[in-house]
Structure 1
Amino acid sequence: MRHSRPPSKTGPRIQGFPRLIVLAVAWAFSPTLGPVALAVEPVAGPPASLVLHLTDGGFVAGKFHETDRPGILRWQGNAFTSPFDFDIKSIDAMQAPVPAQLATPEGVFRFALSGGDVVFGTLIKLDENEAELDLPRVGRIRLQRPHLLRLERWQGRSDLVYLGPTGLAGWTPSPSPAGAPKAWREESGELITDQDGASIVSDVPLPARAIIEFELSWKSQPDFVLTLGEADNQKIDEKKNENPFRFEIWDQELVVQRETANEADVASLGKLAAGPGRVHLRVYFDDERGRLVVDSADGKPLAELNVAASTPHTLAGFQLLNKKGDLRLERLEISRWNGELLREPLPDGPNLRRTNGSNVAAKGIRFDAEAKSFVVSEGDNELRIPLDETARLAFSPLTDIPARSVHILLQDGSRLSGDLTGVEKDAVVVKLPGAEEPVRLPIDQLRSLIVSRAQDAPAAKPELTPRLEMEGVRLTGRLLAGKNEPGAPGLTWQPNGSATASALADKASGRILYKEPTPPAPKTTMIRSGNQIQVFNANGGRIQVAPRPAPPQGVLQGFIMAFAGAPPAPQAAASPAGAGASTGKASGRRALYLRTGDIIPAEVTMIDEKGVTIRTSHSKDVFVPHDKIKAVELSEEPVVPVRLNKAKRERLLTLPRVQKGSPPTHLVRSKNGDYLRGRVVAMDEKALQVEVRLEVKTLPRERVARIIWLQAEDLETGKAAPQQEPAADEEWLVQAVRKDGVRLTYAPERLEGDTLIGTSRVIGECRVRLDEIDQLLIGAAIEKEAAQLTFQRWLLTDAPEPKITEDEGEGSAGGGASGLSSPLVGKPAPDFSLEQLGGKTFRLAEAKGKVVVLDFWATWCGPCLQAMPQVEKVTGEFRDQGVLLVAVNLQESPKEISAMLERHKLNLTVALDKDGAVAEKYKANAIPQTVVIDREGNVTRLFVGGGSRLGDQLREAIQTTLDGPDAKVPASGGADPKAPAK
């Protein structure tokens, strides 16, 4: 391998690129506060409207507001009542959404202006001093002639291959890991990434000879590779025997290089200073000759490579790899090249190219508008060239290019830059370098407005709190005193960089963050083994072992014993809240939890049928109605953390059919971790009274850890009923979340120093110091976050109704064929104990030595009522041989059952499965279901469904069970026990 010539280091340095920073902000915050785990729903990014981006990373959606103050951009945020006056130095950019249909550039010519500006339109006037252009969407502009660098025929142009980008359409980004943000995103049609290693390709055909013009910008030190002529994401950064032409960063230097099997060449395009910047290049590409010429946007030569390919190949594509940092593709234009450089004007005069390919050079040139022709002069001689015969007119490049404070991109691809002098009702006003008068650019034609930065400008400071976060808003700043009015929160915000403040608009919703969320605690796992509780960290290391008392027998009896018996076990390490966790970390304090998400340190002094009376340091004794409460913590001692398995948690929160008319209203937790479901009747300083199954139990208060309220209205939606939507004339609310996890909702009234004062509907006047809170929730955001708190996820759900098996009609097999298909057959029958109709108790374990037939049924099940007489008749035939029939009713009241039995003249032993727990053990998802259990307590047959043959099948099954395990089992036939149920 050889170099055809030493790497060129003579190219001019690329200095002073204007800064372009427009990065979408990801909202990700999930703090953990106090005794509950908080999973905050991410707030959506900027909506599809004009969005102003600030240098500190903040943004605010809204619109321009009129002003005539140079250097000030007045901005009316959608979520605010009055505009902000932002210093232009605090702004990065304004971005507008890309319309569904992009505007097409119109005009006879495309004009290249100084500073890389490009516009489309018609030439009105041209002489050695001045040029006047008519731009269809802007109007007429008059420029000093040196600022017009080139005009090219646009009307009827056939050499254009690609002009964009216009969003991600036609581009293929590299895939992102599962759950990660997309590698590339679009903003105002431009392509942006801040992911290391993210690549993107377009398979647009690349002509063998092409002019390629592109603009890239970045926020931090750039490190990218731009490759011409191979659209393959997998090959973009691989070492190959032959590379296409590539632009890349070598030790903070932008170079262009190519390497083949025979030779290689590289040229420097300039050193890139650290920090934000941008580059705008025009590339002349001749693949047949292996030639690449690189110019600046103003036509200044930067580099030339001549490295021919070793073998012929087809070119397609444009590749961009962001190796590190961030990158933005602003512009890409590809057109066919006729082989002539656009920087060919004579040093002392213009150069005109006709449509027939001939060139005319002259000392001077002017435009005759009436004759529609160019007049080329050379001494006393003049030559007239008709406008429609003119392909291109180029002038010597401008050597002294004035700095510009803003760069503006219009929807049709026009680019203009200058100084922002003001904003009118429907236009921004910009003073272009060399223009006689300021130019009005229609706001509805803007795609972006970029604020320039000097290359040596200090990097933007990282975001600090406090920070206001709302839909379309992320603004660092400070809260000021505001006036509370009906329907408005009375909060005023002044962003950093703005000389003015504004009150939040009606029905504002969001939060003010005063402390960045802490990383989530390491996950732990709790395992109970015998009388031990073992806690393990995420790596499997054991954290703590605590003794655990042996559980007593029976749910209710065990709970009563937990209250009246031994003291609670020593505390183990708290498990994080989440699915299956009780309430997460033990609080170790008395507190009141409201449905609004409030967490108020308080001592419960009394509970009665109307509500709860509390005593808190924030106020005197306060009464709170039941419908506002979600939970109370009664103990100052940390309770034993208990991780409920999924089945037990679902059992606690499932409402049986029999209880729909009178659902439980509370879950009571003992200090030992046991739960009791019922209705709290009353509580005083000594005892708690709970109604359980129509019987009132009295429990020692000292053994109660917490009480959770179960609201029946939550059953309709499966989520907590809304609490925070105010009426139109109600005061707006905020919720202060203190560093210790305390949450307090109240109507803000005034700000005194750093104390926000208002009135709570629960405890009256509130005074909250802003330096003592982590965040201040505003409006509807209170309810959204409250729904994520652990206690709010304790919601009753209706038990699923058992399905009724398909009645297959007269002569059907029914009964589940041989009854041998169930996985329960051959295994010990799940033990249970159920109350019988009449008050006695049936215990399966006490029926050993008998053959037991369980018939799962309900009064509303037609096939059950058809099958039941057959089951009663057949089992009656074997009564003197020790066969016992138990009809297990699913979740119905004794009154309903008794009425049905009397109506159908049935005399059965009925066991009451009030919560469906026994049916779940026997997988009775469809009824009727008939189970045969032998004398040793093992399931021998299980039939699903009824039908005319059920009696014969059941008779044979009982006989076989009585004869013992050596009895002959019949061949399978008839209905399938897993037949679809309706």
Structure 2
Amino acid sequence: MNAKHLITALVLAGIAGHASELHWQNGEWVGGHFVGAEAGHVIWRTPMFSEDFKVRMDVLKRVNRFKTSVKTDEPFSIRLADGSRLFGSITGLDAKTLSVKSARFGSIQVLRDAVMSMQRLKAEGTPFPALTGTNGWIESGSERAAQKIKENLWRMVPGAALQQVGWNHRVSLPVQAPKLVEMQFTLNSSVRPEFKIELKAPDQERMIVETWVDDVVLQGRVFESVQKLSDDARRITLTLFWNRETGRCAIYGADGRKLAETSKPPVDTAETVPEVKAGEKKVAARAGGGLFGALVGVVQGAVQMRAEAVVQAQQGSASGASDVNPTGLTLLNKGPDLTLEALRIREWDGTLPKDITDVRPRIELTDGHYLKAQAVRADATALTVRELNGRETQLPWDKVLAVEMVKDPSPFFQAASPLTEMWFTDGEWVNGTLLQVRNEVATFKTTFSAAPVNFKIDQLHHLQFIGFETDSQEIDLTKLDALTINKNVLHGTLDASGDAQPRWKPVGALKPVAMTSAGEMEITRAVPEQPAGLRSEALFYLQEGDVVPGRLRAIDAKQVDLESDVASVKHLPAEQLQAIQFGGASLNLDGFEDPGWQQVRGGAEQVQRTGKADLGLNAGGSWGHPTFMQVNEINFNLLNNGFSALRVRLYCDGINPAEPSTNLLFGHMGSEVCFGLETNGAQMDRQFRQQSTGAMPIRIAITENTVEVFFNGVSARKIVLNPKMRSGSGIIIEPFSLWGNGEREVKIAAFSARIAPGRVAVPLVDARAKEHALTVPRFRKEDPPQHALLAANGDLLRGVIEAATAEHFAIRSGLETIQVPRNRVKAAVWLIKPADAISAAFEARDKEGVPPVITHWLLLNNGGRLGLKVDRFAEDAVFGTSTLLGNCRVPLAQIYMIRSTTPPDNAAMLALREWKLKFAPEPVLPESGGQSSPLLNQDAKTFKLPLLAGGDFDLAKEKGKVIVLDFWATWCGPCIKSLPQMLDEMSAFDPQQVRFIGINQAEDKETVKTFLETRGWKFEVALDASQRVGQNLGVEGIPHTVVIGPDGKVAYVKTGYEPDGAKQVAEAVKKLLKK
């Protein structure tokens, strides 16, 4: 690992390792260190930037500090009218204030009227006095372990409550249940609460309160419906008293009245579940065992279905609950969400109260009794209360469990927006206005204190920013630049201020900050309505990964001459080139205005342009563009025409519908629109449907490997492309016969398209043609081809570029130098010579050395990419140098991405690199008869070639005959020895049944004609100048003979010369004629 990579790893590890996180309203976040806050903004430090940055609170969502939970050491929890909850010691109480002291905020005076209650957090005989956040709670259950969920599903919410969003998740608290226990809890939900709460003792005794439909049922030694919940019920408060030894159990409701009471003697441990018979409406009681026991109660008014459901639940609980729920308290959420607002577990004296008062003010004592009394005054040791009869009593604080001050909070103490919520890891929670954070101390202005309160934040869990109004409209992220570091995305604005590193201004930041020089960084520029410099006349692909936009001036054996607007280089060594790709004229994306759009089928009646972006197609009509698939987005509206279907063919071979393409099918049935991909049988697969009676806006998003279709902004499907789904860059739009209903009129409107910056059309290369071009025949080993020219239609010509200008290429192919107009060439590729292992080792050694210093990669709108040592990011351009390209100046408006590391190759680079030649394998030995050819018994690909004597030979028209194709050339000695024998053998057959064609390989007409006249040979000769037909029929060496049967299938293949080779071919022909 070199030094730069080591620094990068350390920086990224530093970002990932920071516990603190800064979250924006738009969902983005960055790790780092919370430095402080002041005057409506947060100060943040991150390894991404070399200096702290300040960002406004109105764009922020929260600051996360520590995600762990701890237990407070303070003795009291004080609930305030604004929702805040303070932990501390009570040192005094008078008519106006409550004096509280804690290690976190020191001594403060809380306005008495803001105090709702005081709850003791530590008391003898009270295993769990009150909720204090998530400390001690454990998410449990087999489904949790199976899913391996990393984030906590149960979370702390205001009031130190626990909340869970999501079905069927449980949380447990390992608490020791006394022999005589009182448990009180309050639950709420956004819907009717659905829950199961279980208290389990070490001896496996348990008590369960659970909802079934609208019933709240009690399970233990009894099973009974104790309460019904209305459909609009959202909160439930219950108090349970349980004698584990006698089985006595009582349950009280939110109003303090007793709902149910049972008392059953202990029973054995054998578990019995009753049988529910058809038609029964009661669940009979039978002897049982364990705490569950048998069913002894009835579900009052329940129908048989509910009874059966309850029994099934009983069976499930008896068989599996002990394996899931640990000793202590377990809470299961059975609905969409559930919040545990309050919980208390303490010893019970065994005497049931007549009712449980909820009157306020009141005093709750640690021995379980209640006093209907009001707190009058207090000091650090005792509380003085006044009962209803006016008598005052002094109570030591260690005898006081809770002090309830008022029932309903006063609106006067509600904090006004904007406000900040401050949470601590022990559950303490403060609501107010954040004035500042300095030196790990947060200063808050609150409604419960006349003076600002200072809090130490060494155990801060998070800050939440609520109710801030931005001073601007909603931020449109599509109009902002995006910074990506370690897969974290942060939108903002690139600031080029003349430094060697770019500066970045995050959303809401007060000013730009300098970026660090280490780390894997990527900046993606916002795409303007009219991106600059989308086209380049040529792109020069270099061995080191640079792609230089420019203009070709000349090519010779040693170098390539060019001009570039971004680089000072004028000459490039030939060995540095991988390829040159040429661009055409820019597409006109305004509707159908580009001149490439044309009728594919039909006439004026079948294809009707009703506007520059509107199109009407009738049965038999289609509309296409041969090179349109350079775009990355297509938009149009599919109009409601009663019943119509549209096929959009993407990646066609020009406007040829017969070649492979990606066919998208759309149907509009008047009230519904459907979409699918065309499958075999011309039908729609995996239909996506959406209701619509009007025009349906359709967007087709295109990347190099995917096509995603959207209906009115909703993703209908994302399609991953494979090579069989495209053969070119064309598009065809046409009606479609959906479900056998025939083609019907279809109309589209508002057609438009976009080209993404940096997107370059991938040169079309037929895979077999490429393979053939890279295979060097044995006779060419000493003089292999050096270049390949690619045409727009995928045709390929290999040879040696002897010269080139801005107007044409001169390429020597075989023995002939061919002049090719530059406008017919889409790319020129430098071929890599075959090399043995020793040569490859020497070449690798020669390439070793000190790599060039590259600080940034600049990716351009026109497909260019430059690796530079950047000197400065100026306001209008980036200045830098390159060992090969010299001084460079790149206009900032033409850059769509800036990276600190080498970017991955795009599809065009992959298509144009690694054109490595290979030597042809030794031909099939003559004695094998060539019968190992993969073409055997396959349909011969049809072709049409010009004949030497005039006219054409069209294989498609020769069905019913035996066709013998003999591939040869005038310079081929074995061919010259083979041909006379082949002519003699073929002359014995009836020309109406057998046709013999000699296919000459890559020689000009005059050369072939002179050769035949000299020897006096007379037979039909077809000219395969490009060797395309030879490639398709597997010609790797000559002579090569292919025999095609009357059914059009390849019946015999032979390569090479042997004395009786012609006789072998004749025997194969005779066998075909006998069939």
Q: What's the TM-score once normalised by structure 1's chain length?
A: 0.51
Match of 1:62 among 29, 32, 38: 32
1:825/1:209 CA distance change after superposition, 3 Å: farther
Q: Classify the secondary structure of the residue corresponding to 1:63.
A: strand
Structure 2 partner of 1:480: 495
Superposition pairs for residues 749-828 of structure 1, below 5 Å?
749-750=871-872, 754=876, 756=878, 770=892, 772-773=893-894, 775-780=896-901, 783-784=903-904, 787-796=905-914
Structure 2 partner of 1:514: 526
CA contact (8 A) 2:116 2:406 kept: no
CA contact (8 A) 1:409 1:446 kept: yes
Q: CA deviation at 1:492?
A: 1.6
Q: CA deviation at 1:395?
A: 2.3
Superposition pairs for residues 245-260 of structure 1, below 5 Å?
none
Structure 2 partner of 1:492: 503
1:283/1:52 CA distance change after superposition, 3 Å: farther
Q: CA deviation at 1:747?
A: 5.3
Q: Which AA in structure 1 matches 2:526?
A: Y
Superposition pairs for residues 341-740 of structure 1, below 5 Å?
347=360, 349-354=361-366, 356-364=367-375, 376=385, 381-385=392-396, 387=398, 390-396=400-406, 398-399=409-410, 400-403=412-415, 405-426=419-440, 428-430=442-444, 433-434=447-448, 438-442=453-457, 445-453=459-467, 460-463=474-477, 465-471=479-485, 474-484=489-499, 489-507=500-518, 509-515=521-527, 589-593=537-541, 601-617=549-565, 622-626=570-574, 629-634=577-582, 643=728, 647-648=767-768, 651=771, 666-670=787-791, 673-677=794-798, 680=801, 682-684=803-805, 688=809, 698-702=818-822, 705-709=825-829, 730=853, 732-735=855-858, 737-738=860-861
**1:113 is the counterpart of 2:98:** no
1:590/1:726 CA distance change after superposition, 3 Å: same
1:228/1:836 CA distance change after superposition, 3 Å: farther
Q: Classify the secondary structure of the residue corresponding to 2:497.
A: coil
Match of 1:211 among 185, 194, 215: 185
Structure 2 partner of 1:84: 53
Q: Classify the secondary structure of the residue corresponding to 1:469.
A: strand
**Separation of aligned partners in 1, 2:250 and 2:546:** 74
CA contact (8 A) 2:80 2:448 kept: no
**Separation of aligned partners in 2, 1:518 and 1:229:** 57
1:832/1:475 CA distance change after superposition, 3 Å: farther
Residues 675-708 of structure 1 show CA distances to partners (whole Å, capped at 9, x for unaligned) of 1346656534576465779x79554354651334
**Separation of aligned partners in 1, 2:166 and 2:36:** 40
- Equivalenced residue count is 661
Structure 1 partner of 2:166: 200
Q: CA deviation at 1:669?
A: 1.1
1:801/1:630 CA distance change after superposition, 3 Å: closer
Q: Which AA in structure 1 matches 2:406?
A: S
1:332/1:483 CA distance change after superposition, 3 Å: farther
Q: CA deviation at 1:79?
A: 1.3
**Separation of aligned partners in 2, 1:120 and 1:847:** 107
Structure 2 unmatched runs, 5+: 1-11, 158-163, 174-181, 198-210, 217-224, 241-248, 257-299, 314-330, 347-351, 587-595, 597-625, 628-652, 654-727, 729-763, 922-927, 942-964, 986-1026, 1054-1063
Residues 31-73 of structure 1 show CA distances to partners (whole Å, capped at 9, x for unaligned) of xxxxxxxxxxxx99x9674332234555433322246x34331
Q: Which has the higher contact order (CA 8 A, sep 6+)?
A: 1
**Separation of aligned partners in 2, 1:393 and 1:730:** 71
Match of 1:51 among 10, 21, 27: 21
Q: CA deviation at 1:149?
A: 2.6
1:704/1:353 CA distance change after superposition, 3 Å: same
**Separation of aligned partners in 2, 1:375 and 1:637:** 91
**1:94 is the counterpart of 2:42:** no
Residues 817-837 of structure 1 show CA distances to partners (whole Å, capped at 9, x for unaligned) of xx9999988778998969999
Structure 1 unmatched runs, 5+: 1-42, 174-181, 193-197, 216-223, 232-240, 247-259, 270-281, 296-306, 322-328, 520-585, 804-815, 852-914, 925-930, 943-956, 968-982
1:731/1:384 CA distance change after superposition, 3 Å: same
Q: Which AA in structure 2 matches 1:592?
A: F
**1:153 is the counterpart of 2:153:** no
Match of 1:840 among 962, 974, 983: 974
Structure with the greater alpha carbon radius of gyration: 2
Q: CA deviation at 1:204?
A: 3.1
Match of 2:333 among 313, 318, 339: 318
Residues 243-268 of structure 1 show CA distances to partners (whole Å, capped at 9, x for unaligned) of 5499xxxxxxxxxxxxx9x9995669
Residues 150-193 of structure 1 show CA distances to partners (whole Å, capped at 9, x for unaligned) of 314367635999976999986989xxxxxxxx9x995897599x
**Separation of aligned partners in 2, 1:657 and 1:94:** 68
CA contact (8 A) 1:345 1:396 kept: no
1:154/1:669 CA distance change after superposition, 3 Å: farther
1:265/1:730 CA distance change after superposition, 3 Å: same
Superposition pairs for residues 214-253 of structure 1, below 5 Å?
227-229=193-195, 244=214
CA contact (8 A) 1:748 1:757 kept: yes
What is the root-mean-square deviation in Å for CA atoms of aligned residues?
A: 6.8
**Separation of aligned partners in 2, 1:836 and 1:336:** 102
CA contact (8 A) 2:187 2:193 kept: no
1:751/1:788 CA distance change after superposition, 3 Å: closer
**Separation of aligned partners in 2, 1:741 and 1:341:** 83
Superposition pairs for residues 963-974 of structure 1, below 5 Å?
none
Q: CA deviation at 1:111?
A: 1.6
CA contact (8 A) 1:85 1:498 kept: yes
**Separation of aligned partners in 1, 2:368 and 2:833:** 82
Structure 2 partner of 1:274: none
CA contact (8 A) 1:512 1:776 kept: yes
Most deviating of 406-415 and 451-460: 451-460
**Separation of aligned partners in 1, 2:768 and 2:378:** 89
Q: Which AA in structure 2 matches 1:403?
A: A
Q: Classify the secondary structure of the residue corresponding to 2:364.
A: strand
1:704/1:760 CA distance change after superposition, 3 Å: farther
CA contact (8 A) 2:809 2:822 kept: no
CA contact (8 A) 2:192 2:232 kept: no
CA contact (8 A) 2:484 2:490 kept: no
Q: CA deviation at 1:506?
A: 0.8
1:465/1:473 CA distance change after superposition, 3 Å: farther
Residues 914-950 of structure 1 show CA distances to partners (whole Å, capped at 9, x for unaligned) of x9x99999999xxxxxx999999999999xxxxxxxx
Q: Classify the secondary structure of the residue corresponding to 1:840.
A: helix
CA contact (8 A) 1:734 1:779 kept: yes
CA contact (8 A) 1:111 1:150 kept: yes
Match of 2:93 among 114, 121, 127: 127
**Separation of aligned partners in 1, 2:196 and 2:133:** 18
Q: CA deviation at 1:384?
A: 3.2
Q: Classify the secondary structure of the residue corresponding to 2:903.
A: helix
1:163/1:612 CA distance change after superposition, 3 Å: same
1:265/1:320 CA distance change after superposition, 3 Å: closer
Q: Which AA in structure 2 matches 1:606?
A: A
Q: What's the TM-score once normalised by structure 2's chain length?
A: 0.47
Q: CA deviation at 1:453?
A: 0.5
Q: Classify the secondary structure of the residue corresponding to 2:768.
A: helix
Superposition pairs for residues 919-938 of structure 1, below 5 Å?
none
1:331/1:83 CA distance change after superposition, 3 Å: farther
Sequence identity (%)? 15
Q: Which AA in structure 1 matches 2:914?
A: L
**Separation of aligned partners in 2, 1:469 and 1:714:** 43
CA contact (8 A) 1:172 1:200 kept: no
Residues 424-469 of structure 1 show CA distances to partners (whole Å, capped at 9, x for unaligned) of 45565545554566444435x4443211216999974433523232
Q: CA deviation at 1:413?
A: 3.9
Q: CA deviation at 1:362?
A: 3.0
